[in-house]
Amino acid sequence: MKKNILIAPNSFKECANSVEIASLFQTAFDKLISDDLKKGIEFHYKPISDGGDGFLEVAQNYFSLELLHFEISSPHSDEKFLCPVGYSLLDKKVYIESAKVLGLNLVPDNKRKPLLLTSKGMGELIEQLIGSNENGFLEVNELIIGIGGTATNDMGLGMMNCLGLDLYDINNNKLEVIPANFLKAERIEYNKKDLPFDITIVHDVNNPLLGKEGSTMVYARQKGAAGSDLNVLEDGFKKILELIKCNDQTKQKLNGAGGGLAAAFQLFFDSKLKSAENFIFEDLDIADKYYDLVLTGEGKFDFQSKYSKGAYLIMNKFSSAGIPIYIVCGEAEGDLPDEENIHIIELAEYFDTLEESIEQIEKGILIAAKIVSKEILHQFTIKN
């Protein structure tokens, strides 16, 4: 009976998406594993996404999507760019990756200031999809939006500004809808649009919108926020929730993914939430058989991975079986698993700098594949 090996990496943020990483591992194992040994092993290459970077490529890989492009604004200016989305003609679904709409890669380093960034590009995209549906260009029943990897931390209000929401100050002056102005807001007007389609959110984290484990306190720094910005962002969110008269019970249910983008979909469109776990194990059907060895990974494996990030979900799913599990990452830090069958391969250790490991990702994946190949040779030598 053949041994089954699962290769299910998540994306390496700002380096390579999960489909590319899986392809690099396939090339490496094809070189490293002898033809005789390959006869007794079946490799299952199943790249994953938890809703963040690489979501669109993964959806294309599994659902045979047609790629369409829409012109939208960048998060930091009125500069326009063509944003890709995936369309399933069979299911009449549009797949959107928020990282391709609002991602860090779209914002120059000197513009990574969440107080000044806006999610309006997502609003423009949805507005165009509404129009495309109404004029018959596209028949759309549902938007599936992977949320994660955004540069923005504006609770989705920039998006909502394009879809009927305005902020006003104490003098009844209309405010630019960016987080720097949230504390100045004294009134909100919202003319709700009826959407011609449902919206389902695939979220990469399960952390709440507010609090010490919320979107701002956990993720805003990595988006470029200074320490002094954190309370301004957090208090701005609270002010907006106060103005829309959001009760405490609802606040506790709001999801912090995408700098609060998921919360906006909950508040204003009553969108359905789908966890990364459900997307990976149900929609992608990753755990469809028994595996003898599992390899997963992502760019950075740390405490944030515990908020239902993809690699952590894969590890949790299969670790109890006692099989070898390899987690390949650019860097690892914090409270890491110490189970005997879980092995972490930190690529940065094999290069002079982290930047070099990113630039030479092909070399890094080959190094990781060599390490895992030794385990394969040790554990799975096929005896006739």
pLDDT digits (tens, 9 = 90+) for 192-229: 888 999 999 998 777 899 999 999 999 999 999 999 99
Whether residue 382 has pLDDT greater than 60? no
Residues 159 and 205 in one domain: yes
Residue 124 has which token pair? 């423009």
pLDDT value of position 384? 41
> Distance between CA 58 and CA 368 in Å, rounded?
22
Closest C-alpha to 253, from 209, 291, 292: 209
pLDDT value of position 141? 97
What is the number of structural domains in the chain? 2
Residues 82 and 37 in one domain: no
Residues 84 and 196 in one domain: yes
**Cβ-Cβ contacts under 8 Å for 78 (sequence gap 6 or more):** none
Flag whether 314 is in a domain.
yes
Average pLDDT, rounded, for the chain: 93
Residue 70, SS3 per DSSP: strand
Residues 59 and 44 in one domain: no
Can you give the CATH number for the domain in which 23 is found?
A: 3.40.50
**Cβ-Cβ contacts under 8 Å for 247 (sequence gap 6 or more):** none
Flag whether 31 is in a domain.
yes
Flag whether 117 is in a domain.
yes
Flag whether 85 is in a domain.
yes
Residues 166 and 64 in one domain: yes
Residues 118 and 244 in one domain: yes
Can you give the CATH number for the domain in which 82 is found?
A: 3.90.1510.10
Residues 229 and 271 in one domain: yes
Residues in the chain: 384
Residues 25 and 70 in one domain: no
Closest C-alpha to 199, from 101, 106, 103, 122: 122
Band of pLDDT at residue 305, cut at 50, 70 and 90: low
Flag whether 371 is in a domain.
yes
Residues 217 and 314 in one domain: no
pLDDT digits (tens, 9 = 90+) for 150-208: 999 999 999 999 999 999 999 999 999 999 999 999 999 999 888 999 999 998 777 89
Residue 271: alpha-carbon gap to chain centroid:
17
Flag whether 253 is in a domain.
yes
> Distance between CA 186 and CA 167 in Å, rounded?
8
The domain boundary, picked from 247, 277, 307, lies at 277
Domain that holds residue 207: 55-277
Residue 344, SS3 per DSSP: strand
User: Residue 376: enclosing H or E segment and its boundaries?
Assistant: helix 361-379
Whether residue 301 has pLDDT greater than 90? no
**Which of the residue ranges 126-135, 162-171, 205-214, 362-371 would you say has the lowest mean pLDDT?**
205-214
Residue 307 has which token pair? 């908020």
Residues 339 and 372 in one domain: yes
Cβ(22)–Cβ(47) below 8 Å: yes
Residues 243 and 203 in one domain: yes
Q: Determine the longest span between alpha carbons in the chain, in angstroms.
A: 83
> Distance between CA 204 and CA 277 in Å, rounded?
9
Cβ neighbours, 10 Å, residue 342: 16
Residues 16 and 132 in one domain: no
Flag whether 384 is in a domain.
no
The domain boundary, picked from 226, 254, 277, lies at 277
Flag whether 373 is in a domain.
yes
Query: What does the DSSP assignment read for 185-251?
Result: --EEEE-PPPPSSEEEEEES---BSSSTTSHHHHHTGGGT--HHHHHHHHHHHHHHHHHTT--HHHH
Q: Which amino acid is at 100?
A: K
pLDDT digits (tens, 9 = 90+) for 323-352: 999 999 999 887 778 889 999 999 999 999
> Distance between CA 346 and CA 332 in Å, rounded?
6
**Cβ-Cβ contacts under 8 Å for 17 (sequence gap 6 or more):** 11, 47, 53, 54, 57, 58
The domain boundary, picked from 277, 301, 327, lies at 277
